[in-house]
């Protein structure tokens, strides 16, 4: 392969251009426009929610959710340590405290069985993050939340189109959040959304994303943000959502192709779990974990693949080890061995919607040659 293979290849269909051109012709390109309304309505319908609020990105969606749920200084919020820092930022800003949960070694998701023993009188919410391709086992999480009267934020950013026991991911909890970044199943370039069945929460979301304007314009009683999604972005998102089933089918085909190709080296690497009792893998990204017996880290393999023209990404760096977390909260006296292990030995391969079969074949052969010849 002469071409450098990027870790994500975006794919668009014909309807995106049609709606985008229509938006441009209309002149309604900012946050006011029919496509924002249309996209929000489609999101509500697709994910079985009554209300939807679009924002500028997935991180903003999480920020708004935490603020709207009235989480305050001194409160505790349970979350996985194996995740992107977006789930943590607003918790830190308001002076609340994160309570981290370790990962399951097979699904790479937070261990639901670890949640209850970490609940205290200060606990106010649980942030559930679906990781890479399989959802968190939600039933026990929701049962615990109900028992202790805790709020649940379901971060479904990585699993748009996935289901849990037949119900869409993003339809659970007090609020669910989404990201529409370029590497997500549905993209608007940048963008995000919050979904809920609670009318009061939805009003808070819409107020916080729009500078907390009141009926009398330019009067503000609360602190908000300017987080409005543009009509241009929404036109693309609306068109993309129409192709969601096709996108999910394509992602699963990419994942199963890698599985078939790489099973020959499954003694050296852990392949993604194909399914659980509650979901089939959707392969948002195609992740692998190098087995410790190989004696190499993910970074070593990433360096090798880069020289072969293949871009990769490391797995998430655990939140409990983030320098900013240590700076604010001090050293944590808990260990999270599973999260640390999959972070050290895990990486994901190019698996965007636009990847070609010949590229998957080349990547697979490169990996196979590395392990069969180097190890």
CA gap 98, 329 in Å, rounded: 9
Q: Whole-angstrom Cα distance, residue 334 to residue 321?
A: 11
Pick from 87, 152, 154, 86: nearest CA to 119 = 152
Number of neighbouring beta carbons within 10 Å of residue 347: 23
Residue pair 177/196 in contact by the 8 Å Cβ criterion: no
Question: Do both 254 and 212 map to the same domain?
Answer: no
Let me know whether 234 and 362 are in one domain: no
Maximum Cα interatomic distance, the chain, rounded to a whole number of Å: 71
Domain co-membership, 141 together with 267: no
For residues 375 and 358, give the distance between their C-alpha atoms in angstroms, rounded to a whole number: 25
d(CA 69, CA 154): 13
pLDDT for the residue numbered 13: 87
Residues 19 and 163 in one domain: yes
Residue 287 covered by a domain: yes
Rg (CA), the chain: 21
Task: Tokens 């309505």: give the residue.
Answer: 41
Please give the structure tokens belonging to residue 172: 């659970």
Euclidean distance between CA atoms 226 and 201, whole angstroms: 18
In a domain, 3, yes or no: no
**pLDDT string in tens for the chain (375-residue length):** 668 999 999 999 889 999 999 999 999 999 989 999 999 999 999 999 999 999 999 999 999 999 999 999 999 999 999 999 999 999 999 999 999 999 999 999 999 999 999 999 999 999 999 999 999 999 999 999 999 999 999 999 999 999 999 999 999 999 999 999 999 999 999 999 999 999 999 999 999 999 999 888 888 989 999 999 999 999 999 999 999 999 999 999 999 999 999 999 999 999 999 999 999 999 999 999 999 999 999 999 999 999 999 999 999 999 999 999 999 998 887 899 999 999 999 999 999 999 999 999 999 999 999 998 865
Residues 345 and 235 in one domain: no
Q: Containing domain of residue 301, as a range?
A: 244-374
Is 1 inside any structural domain? no
| DSSP3 helix / strand / coil % (the chain, rounded to 5) | 40, 20, 40
Number of H helices, E strands in the chain: 12, 13
Q: How far apart are CA 73 and CA 55, in angstroms?
A: 25
One domain, residues 35 and 174: yes
- Asked if residue 8 belongs to a domain, the reply is no
Within this chain, do residues 235 and 292 fall inside the same structural domain, yes or no? no
Among the candidates 242, 261, 280, a domain finishes at 242
Q: Are residues 235 and 249 in the same domain?
A: no
pLDDT at 32: 86
Q: Annotate 303-322 with b (16+ C-beta within 10 A) or e (fewer).
A: ebbeebebebbebbbbbbeb
Note the pLDDT of residue 327.
94
- Which is it for strands 313-314 and 346-349: parallel, antiparallel or unpaired? antiparallel
Dist CA 220 CA 63 (whole Å): 19
Residues 134 and 84 grouped into a single domain: yes
Alpha-carbon torsion, ordered 90, 92, 94, 98, to 10 deg: 100
Contact in structure between 244 and 186 (CB atoms under 8 Å) = yes
Output the domain CATH number for residue 40: 3.40.640.10
Listing DSSP states for 318-375 in one string gives PGGG-HHHHHHH---S---HHHHHHHHHEEEE---TT--HHHHHHHHHHHHHHHHHH-
Single pTM value for the model: 0.95
Block residue for tokens 């014909």:
14
Residue 5 lies in a domain: no
Asked if the structure places residue 7 within a domain, the reply is no
Q: Which of 242, 267, 302 is the last residue of a domain?
A: 242
DSSP-derived pairing of the beta strands 151-155 and 123-129: parallel
218 with 201, same domain: the answer is: yes
> 252 and 366, same structural domain?
yes
Distance between CA atoms of 183 and 265, rounded to whole angstroms?
27
Q: What is the pLDDT of residues 308-351, one digit of tens each?
A: 999 999 999 999 999 999 999 988 878 999 999 999 999 999 99
* Domain assignment of residue 288, yes or no: yes
Question: What span, in angstroms and rounded, lies between the C-alpha atoms of 227 and 6?
Answer: 30
Tell me if 6 is assigned to some domain: no
Total domain count for the chain?
A: 2
Q: In the listed set 225, 242, 259, which residue is the last one of a domain according to the structure?
A: 242
- Tell me the per-residue pLDDT of 184-212, one tens digit each, with 9 for 90 and over: 999 999 999 999 999 999 999 999 999 99
Six-digit token string for 218? 């330019």
Domain co-membership, 251 together with 366: yes
Report d(CA 53, CA 63) in Å as an integer: 13
Rounded CA gap, 343 and 290, in Å?
A: 10
């Amino acid at each position: 392969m002469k071409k450098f293979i990027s870790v994500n290849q975006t794919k668009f269909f014909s309807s995106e251009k049609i709606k985008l051109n229509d938006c441009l012709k209309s002149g309604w390109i900012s946050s006011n426009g029919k496509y924002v309304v249309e996209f929000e309505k489609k999101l509500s319908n697709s994910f079985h929610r009554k209300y939807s609020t679009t924002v500028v990105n997935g991180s903003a969606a999480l920020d708004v959710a935490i603020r709207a749920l009235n989480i305050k200084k001194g409160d505790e919020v349970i979350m996985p340590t194996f995740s992107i820092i977006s789930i943590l930022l607003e918790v830190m800003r308001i002076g609340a405290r994160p309570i981290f949960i370790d990962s399951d070694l097979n699904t790479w998701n937070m261990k639901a069985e670890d949640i209850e023993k970490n609940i205290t009188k200060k606990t106010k919410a649980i942030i559930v993050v679906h990781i890479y391709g399989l959802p968190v086992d939600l039933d026990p999480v929701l049962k615990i939340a109900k028992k202790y009267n805790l709020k649940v934020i379901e971060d479904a950013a990585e699993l748009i189109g996935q289901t849990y026991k037949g119900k869409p991911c993003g339809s659970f909890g007090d609020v669910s959040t989404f990201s529409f970044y370029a590497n997500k199943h549905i993209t608007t370039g940048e963008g995000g959304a919050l979904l809920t069945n609670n009318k009061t929460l939805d009003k808070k979301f819409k107020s916080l994303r729009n500078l907390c304007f009141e009926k009398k314009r330019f009067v503000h009683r609360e602190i908000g943000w300017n987080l409005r999604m543009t009509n241009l972005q929404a036109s693309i998102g609306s068109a993309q959502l129409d192709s969601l089933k096709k996108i999910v089918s394509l992602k699963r085909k990419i994942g199963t192709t890698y599985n078939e190709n790489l099973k020959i080296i499954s003694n050296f690497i852990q392949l993604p779990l194909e399914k659980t009792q509650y979901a089939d893998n959707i392969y948002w990204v195609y992740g692998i974990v190098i087995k410790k017996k190989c004696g190499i880290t993910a970074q070593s393999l990433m360096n090798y693949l880069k020289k072969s023209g293949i871009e990769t990404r490391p797995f998430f760096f655990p939140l409990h080890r983030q320098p900013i977390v240590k700076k604010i909260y001090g050293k944590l006296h808990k260990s999270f061995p599973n999260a640390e292990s999959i972070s050290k030995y895990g990486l994901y391969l190019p698996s965007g919607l636009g990847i070609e079969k010949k590229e998957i074949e080349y990547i697979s052969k490169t990996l196979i040659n590395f392990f069969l010849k180097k190890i």
